[in-house]
């Protein structure tokens, strides 16, 4: 049985960007969850809380995430930002899931790839649907840029973050991959 003192503690920060509120959480092992822009601060906190288990506790500490929050704000201001040095915590993920997420992380700013390409590059050439399943539960969108993964022939498909395909489109527009409608 978990007592309050035996809970794993994760620290979080919530901040406003040009297109909404983001939330980020992690611990000494690395970043664990990023909530892409949602309408309110309360929505961001609720999204973070949904991700964590009862044996895990969120504790607010803004200063721990100043540099990453600044990078995220700059990204949503339209600046070219790479998220390649941030330490991430994929504890609890299978080796297949980790492999897919880490390979996705290698897709550079302004470049898109397909689910099939990602499956092939990860060593699972026929697992493109399974790759889509991993993308759907990506805990760190933007840092692990699942928005850069498209359907066959570059079709804009699937994006489980709040805002769905409209947010995916906006992010790809910011990166110059798509033009505004």
**Burial class of residue 43, CB neighbours in 10 A (0-12, 13-18, 19+):** middle
Three-state DSSP state, 89: coil
CATH no. of 95-174 = 1.10.10.10
Under a CB-based contact definition with an 8 Å cutoff, are residues 90 and 98 in contact? yes
**Burial class of residue 5, CB neighbours in 10 A (0-12, 13-18, 19+):** exposed
Q: Which alpha helices (DSSP H) does 23-161 contain, by range?
A: 41-51, 66-76, 95-105, 115-121, 128-136
Q: What is the CA radius of gyration of the chain?
A: 16
Listed by start position, the domains of the chain span: 4-76, 95-174
Element (H, E) at 169: helix 164-174
Span 92-134, pLDDT tens digits: 999 999 999 999 999 999 999 999 999 999 999 999 899 999 9
pLDDT band at 77 (very low <50, low <70, confident <90, very high): very high
Main-chain phi, psi angles of 20, to 5 degrees: 150, -175
pLDDT of 1 higher than 50: no
User: Among the CATH numbers 2.60.120.560, 3.30.160.70, 3.40.50.1000, 2.60.120.10, which is that of 4-76?
Assistant: 3.30.160.70
The residue assigned the tokens 């309110």 is 40
If we measure between CA atoms, which residue out of 65, 20, 27 comes closest to residue 47? 20
Active centre residues (catalytic):
146
* pLDDT above 70 as % of the chain: 95
Span 35-69, pLDDT tens digits: 999 999 999 999 999 998 888 888 887 677 889 99
Question: What does the pLDDT read at residue 2?
Answer: 45
The Cα 2–Cα 88 span in angstroms is 25
DSSP 123-165: T-TT-HHHHHHHHHT-SSBTTB-GGGEE-GGG------STTHH
């Amino acid at each position: 049985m978990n007592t309050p003192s035996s809970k794993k503690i994760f620290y979080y920060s919530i901040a406003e960007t040009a297109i909404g509120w983001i939330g980020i959480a992690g611990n000494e092992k690395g970043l664990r969850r990023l909530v892409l822009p949602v309408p309110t601060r309360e929505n961001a906190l609720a999204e973070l809380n949904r991700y964590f288990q009862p044996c895990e506790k969120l504790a607010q500490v803004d200063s721990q995430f100043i540099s990453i929050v600044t990078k995220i704000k700059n990204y949503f201001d339209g600046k070219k930002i790479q998220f390649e040095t941030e330490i991430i915590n994929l504890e609890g993920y299978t080796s297949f899931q980790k492999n897919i997420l880490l390979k996705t992380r290698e897709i550079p700013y302004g470049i898109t790839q397909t689910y099939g390409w990602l499956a092939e590059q990860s060593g699972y050439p026929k697992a493109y649907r399974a790759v889509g399943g991993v993308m759907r539960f990506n805990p760190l969108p933007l840092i692990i840029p699942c928005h850069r993964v498209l359907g066959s022939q570059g079709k804009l498909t699937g994006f489980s973050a709040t805002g769905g395909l409209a947010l995916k489109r906006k992010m790809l527009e910011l990166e110059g991959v798509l033009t505004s409608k």
